[in-house]
Amino acid sequence: MKRSKVWAGGLILGIAIAASVGAYAQDQLPPPSPIEKQLAARANHVTEVTLDKTMLAFAAKFMKDEDDAEARQMIQNLKGVYVREYEFDNDHSYTADELDGLRKYMQGTDWTPMVRERSKGDGEQTDVYVKVVNGQMQGLYVLDAEARELSLVLIIGPINVDEIGKLGGTFGIPKHAIKSVKKAEKEVTK
């Protein structure tokens, strides 16, 4: 992953940490899984983005060009965006138990597994969980495991699957994770 790709996400994260420590205490985003600290210790590069509703509104003010207009519109109603990317020097520097722990962390009465995709040859795995309230998607969790990269994306708030692709590449959200969601949505609606 290119460092320039996450520059804006890193800037926004720095602002978020400095400006909204109290806002994070709200129930909008769950606390990080303890497994994430272990992954971060082994990774050679870590990207962490945590934005609550206040910080999303603040960040949207910097989205000025036409290309950002649709993403800016979508984030207005979101409650939070949480992204973690861990890059490793060696293939599969994470364990199956750690992946299972990350999956279990989001399982519960509010979250439903939507997609489980596995590739035997390269060991790549993608899991997509959704939170549906009154027939409306109110949350999305993507766990995307590749040979040398592990991505976690959690979006809280009303989500239109048709428009979710507009967030790929924004706020540090990996485009490949969003592609997995779009692919999953197509599989489910076949």
User: Following DSSP, what letter does each residue of 67-107 receive, concatenated?
Assistant: HHHHHHHHHTT--EEEEEEEE-SSTT-S-HHHHHHHHHHH-
- Amino acid type, 149: E
Measure the CA–CA gap between 122 and 7, rounded to whole angstroms: 29
- Averaged pLDDT for residues 71-91: 88
Q: Comparing 171 with 71, which gets the higher pLDDT?
A: 71
Instruction: Give residue 187's pLDDT.
Output: 47
- ∠ CA 31-81-24, rounded to 5°: 45
Q: Which residues contact 185 (CB under 8 A, 6 or more apart)?
A: 161
- Averaged pLDDT for residues 15-30: 40
Instruction: Give residue 121's pLDDT.
Output: 81
Q: Using one digit for the tens of pLDDT, what is the confidence trace for 102-135?
A: 998 877 768 888 888 898 888 899 998 989 888 8
- The structural domains of the chain, with segments of one domain joined by +, span 3-20+30-188
- Averaged pLDDT for residues 66-84: 79
Measure the CA–CA gap between 46 and 49, rounded to whole angstroms: 10
- Averaged pLDDT for residues 63-71: 69
For the cut 50, the answer to whether the pLDDT of residue 23 exceeds it is: no
Measure the CA–CA gap between 115 and 136, rounded to whole angstroms: 18
Q: How confident is the model at residue 29 (pLDDT cuts 50, 70, 90)?
A: low
Measure the CA–CA gap between 89 and 119, rounded to whole angstroms: 21
Q: Please state, rounded to an integer, the average pLDDT across all residues of the chain.
A: 75
In this structure, the number of other CB atoms found within 10 A of the CB of residue 163 comes to: 12
In this structure, what is the dihedral angle of CA atoms 79, 57, 141, 178, given to the nearest 10 degrees?
A: 150
Instruction: Give residue 164's pLDDT.
Output: 62
